Amino acid sequence: MRLTTSLTAFTVCFKAASEATHSYSLLSYATSFSDNELLIWEESKTQLWLYLGNFVTEFYIPDMNSLLRHIYVTWESQRGEITVWVNGRRRVRKVGGKGQVVKGSGQFILGQEQDSVGGGFDASQSFVGEITDVHLWDHVLQPNDRDDQPGLFQ
């Protein structure tokens, strides 16, 4: 999936399950400017990393296992506020990427980190499991917003 416009805010949500024991990418967005323009990375079964260009932050989350987890990640540039929700429960809010923009004209890939736009894959970083119900919005959804709002892709 291609993103044609730049983002100063987003909400991405999906359901995922995995029994993998290695680190992997859940979602990767690469542009000609950065192969990790946006990256959601599971470092261990309890760490979720968010890469926004050259800013990286870590969230501790419940163990990934064979049960589907509903994951929401929100970010907005003005205040740099990042929030991660897992199965409807909010993790601690963090600040980062203040004033940054996620550049357009890139490529989204699920389950694999990109080393170049749409390629440069490393098999040892592959997600093994199930990812479903992926949605992306160009704004921060509030907790009472519904999943079925029209998004940039669904």
The pTM is what?
Answer: 0.87
Give the C-alpha separation, 149 to 124, whole Å: 35
Residue-wise pLDDT tens digits, 24-63 = 999 999 998 888 899 999 987 778 889 887 889 999 988 8
- Tokens 């192969």, located at residue: 35
Residue 36 CB contacts under 8 Å (≥ 6 apart), including other chains: 28, 30, 51, 53, 113, 114
Q: How many domains does the chain have?
A: 1
150, part of any domain: no
CA–CA gap between residue 32 and residue 40 (Å, rounded): 18
Q: Three-state DSSP class for 95?
A: strand
Q: Are 20 and 127 in contact (CB under 8 A)?
A: yes
Domain membership flag for residue 51: yes
Residue 148 located in a structural domain? no
- Residue 113 is part of which domain span? 2-137
